[in-house]
Structure 1
Amino acid sequence: MDEHKERELNDYLDLLFWTETASESEIQGAMSVASGITKEDLKMAVKCMIESDRPGLVLYFPELVTNRFSLSDLRGQHPALAEAMDVLVDSMKRREHDPSYPLKGYGRTLGCIGKLQYLGVITPAQRELLISELASVKRIGFRLDKWTWARTKPN
């Protein structure tokens, strides 16, 4: 390997080491000012971290995830997930009229997501995105059009 390629490889390895320990805001800052080969190397390093040691980075850089999908995409392929999501949707609808009604199905849906990762159906990064989506459903509610479409979509 020539000296230029060796230096480029060492620079990339240094960047990988840095992304292992840098905070999310430090990485975001570096990404915002980087350009050219440095930006491409940084994207590659972050993607590597997302796929290995730091899947949580996906919440800051979702555009770097391969094979991205949503809960509604997965529900048609996995009946257990669809059932858990149906329970969640039904309990959220009931809570609109009776705020004391308990939220049901959230834990089941979360458990299904974890099991899909355990079975190798989804990656840790994909799990992080799905959990984030599920948390937003719990926090701010769901868009009926999206979830209703997903519930009524023929298998």
Structure 2
Amino acid sequence: MAEIMQRDNVNININININDRAINYTIKRPIFCYNNNFDQSEINIKKCMSKLCEGISRVLSTWNGLQMAIQNKWGGHDSYQKSQQLVIDIFAWFSQSDSLCVEDLENLLHECLLFSFNTDIEDGSIDMVAEQLMNMHEGYLNDSHF
């Protein structure tokens, strides 16, 4: 019979590549596993977090408002780099926040567009993108047993 075990507050080091930019990130999470196989559980979490980061990047790449800001360099000559930083900021927000609220994510997106890209989007797309990201995150949580 499989026994479910838990280790609390495990530091998990994750190396993620976003468009040839290596990001090293450490999160602290409990790990659940079957039959004391914590190493495999940590590997699965790392894979899931890497997929989450890729998913965030994919969602943002389809957001017309952000893509217009990047293409028109509304955030300056480093608009593309700022968009990649937004991926990292969203990933960090998901990784560090205990209670996630879609309104907080909407505020993060709005502030980033306003301060990094000098853009105020009022077409409702911020709400839709935040909802997409929250649903995607929830799916990854369910798949990885966080």
Which structure is larger by alpha-carbon Rg, 1 or 2? 1
The structure with the largest strand share of the pair is: 2
Is TM-score (shorter-chain normalized) higher than 0.5? no
